[in-house]
Structure 1
Amino acid sequence: MRTWRVGSISMGASLLFLGIFLLFSQLLKWDSAYVLAGWWPVLLIVLGAEILVYLYLSRQEKPILQYDFLSIIFVAVIGTLGIGFTVLQATGLMEQMQAFFDSEVKTADLPSYNHQVGDDVKRIVVDSSYYPITIETVTDKEVSVFGTYRGTFSGDRPFFSKPEDYLLTTQKGDTLFITLKGLPESNGWRQSGQEMQATLVVPASKSLEISSNYNDVTLKPRTLSSSWEVSSSGMVNLVLPSSEDLTINAENVGDIQGEDAEWQFLEQANVPESEEEGIEDEGIPNKSATLKLGTGQHPITISHSDQVNVSIQN
């Protein structure tokens, strides 16, 4: 007589239902991960139903259940995997994993910002935050920001849909404040490696103050008719036409390149880098120099920067 061992039918039925679910997931384009997460309770239903049927059909007063342990272990492993998928889905990790595998690193355009400034604006203050910035001039009275950014995208949805997503502008009195916001970062375990390259175009007649948190700043003034100040930058690159009437004042900078451009150096000082228990380090050299182009009517002052690099174009 054939012996009925609880678990054998459950394993067969579970594999049958799993195959049916996976078949429909292929035909109907269901997400296989969600199918596995929603399918595993069928295991408990089938196993419980088999036990009840066995007890009902047994002719013994005190029926003794006999189990097919190998089949039950197999069913338990499949059920554990299903529970794991459910936990991932409930905690949101499933969506993060899906977004990670569907994501790609792309370069996109920054939404352009254009703003007319009136005669009441005398000064523009720029904070480029953690990103390099290029600044050029125009003869009209319009401030513009454009450029590109690079990051990890999921689907076709960009990080920025309007200038306000990456740019903060506020006018207080005669000063226009411009701040570049940080790119969005994931709180999960995936790394995104965002970058942004922005170009700011300002009127040549407006005074400009730039702070860049020790990132690179590139200055390309043309027909400058005001004063500029740059502080706390990494490398300051100046691309200057030889026809400009400028005076470049480098104050307490780490290094000056383009020294063949007739820099007038001041006395070099060593500034202590740190002091501990009364012992001073030898310090790092800080240079100060002046470069005059033309009549030198309009000053560009660069202070507390790591390096100044000047390129004069004829």
Structure 2
Amino acid sequence: MRTWRVGSISMGASLLFLGIFLLFSQLLKWDSAYVLAGWWPVLLIVLGAEILVYLFLSKQEKPILKYDFLSIIFVAVIGTVGIGFTVLQATGLTEELQTFFDSEMTTADLPSFNYQVGDEVKRIVVDSSHHPLTVETVTDKEVSVFGTYRSSFTEGKPLLGNPEDYLMTTRKGDTLYITLKSLPDYNGWMQSGQEMDATLVIPASKSLEISSDYSEVTLKPRTLSSSWEVSSSARVNLILASNEDLTINADNVGDIQGENVKWQMTEPASASDKDVIEEGIPNKSATLKLGSGQHPITISHSDQVNVSIKN
């Protein structure tokens, strides 16, 4: 006579229902994660129903339940997986994972920023954070920011919709403050590989101060008629024309490259600077003069300065 062990029917019914759910998920385009999250309670219903049916049909006065432990373990494993998907769904991690796997790394244009500056604005202060920045001049009175960024896109939707998503501007007195923000990272899922390469165009008559979190800064002064300062940069590239009217002051920099024969090396300006040299940390100060040297560009506390002069 065949012995009925509780658990064997549950395993068969569970596999049957799981197969039906997965089949409909393929035909009706259901989300498989949501199917697994909502399907596992069926296991408890089937197992409980099997126990009740066994007790009801048993002809023994005091029936003893006999379990198919291998089947029950199999059902428990499937149920645990379903509970895991339920926890992920409840915490929102399922949607985050789906967003991550559906995203693709793409390069797109930064939303352009344009700001008219009058004569009342004398100075522009820029915090480029960890982003590479290129600065050029124009003869009109407009400040512009444009460029590209590389980030994860989901369903073809751009990460940045307007300039405020990556840029903050504040006007205080005669100074315009510009800060480049970090790109959104969606709680860390999309942070890896994100890059932004911005170009800042400012009027040649406005003074400029740039601070960065040891990122790369490229300067193309062209028609500069004011003074510029750059501090705390990993590398400063100066792309100059031979007819420029500039004085380049490199103060406390690690290395100076390009057109070295024209640089005039100078001694450290302070005792603290001498202490840095004595400790073995590369530290150089030099001056490069083009034309009459009327307009100064000061570069301080940077790892490297590279000058390229084009005829």
TM-score of the pair, normalised by structure 2:
0.92
The number of residues matched between the two structures is 308
Per-residue CA distance 1:200-219 (angstroms, 9 max, x = gap)? 00000111111112221100
| CA separation of 1:177 and 1:268: change in aligned 2, threshold 3 A | closer
Kept in 2, the 8 Å contact 1:143–1:203? The answer is: yes
Partner of 1:220 in structure 2? Answer: 220
| CA separation of 1:120 and 1:191: change in aligned 2, threshold 3 A | closer
Kept in 2, the 8 Å contact 1:268–1:285? The answer is: no
Partner of 2:41 in structure 1? Answer: 41
Letter in 2 for 1:289: A
Letter in 1 for 2:240: L
Partner of 2:239 in structure 1? Answer: 239
State the distance in 1 between where 2:124 and 2:190 align.
38
| CA separation of 1:126 and 1:191: change in aligned 2, threshold 3 A | closer
Structure 1 runs not aligned, ≥5 long = 274-279
Partner of 1:11 in structure 2? Answer: 11
Partner of 2:105 in structure 1? Answer: 105
State the distance in 2 between where 1:88 and 1:190 align.
19
Letter in 2 for 1:152: S
Say whether residues 1:306 and 2:303 are aligned partners. yes
Partner of 1:250 in structure 2? Answer: 250
Say whether residues 1:271 and 2:268 are aligned partners. no
Q: Shift of the alpha carbon at 1:281?
A: 5.6
TM-score of the pair, normalised by structure 1:
0.91
Letter in 2 for 1:109: D
Per-residue CA distance 1:215-245 (angstroms, 9 max, x = gap)? 2110001111111111222211110111111
Say whether residues 1:158 and 2:158 are aligned partners. yes
What is the correspondence of 1:1-314 to structure 2 with a 5 Å cutoff? 1-188=1-188, 192-260=192-260, 262-267=262-267, 271-273=274-276, 282-314=279-311
| CA separation of 1:224 and 1:111: change in aligned 2, threshold 3 A | same
What's the Cα RMSD here?
A: 2.0
State the distance in 1 between where 2:18 and 2:137 align.
67
Letter in 1 for 2:305: V
* Larger CA deviation: 190-199 vs 177-186: 190-199
State the distance in 2 between where 1:190 and 1:114 align.
28
Kept in 1, the 8 Å contact 2:184–2:191? The answer is: no
Identity of aligned residues (%): 81
| Deviation beyond 6 Å, 4+ runs, structure 1 | none
Letter in 1 for 2:232: S
State the distance in 2 between where 1:281 and 1:205 align.
40
* Larger CA deviation: 256-265 vs 30-39: 256-265
| CA separation of 1:50 and 1:260: change in aligned 2, threshold 3 A | closer
Secondary structure of 2:309's counterpart equals: strand
Secondary structure of 1:272's counterpart equals: helix
Structure 2 runs not aligned, ≥5 long = none
Q: Shift of the alpha carbon at 1:96?
A: 2.9
Kept in 2, the 8 Å contact 1:107–1:148? The answer is: yes
Kept in 1, the 8 Å contact 2:245–2:290? The answer is: yes
Secondary structure of 1:211's counterpart equals: strand
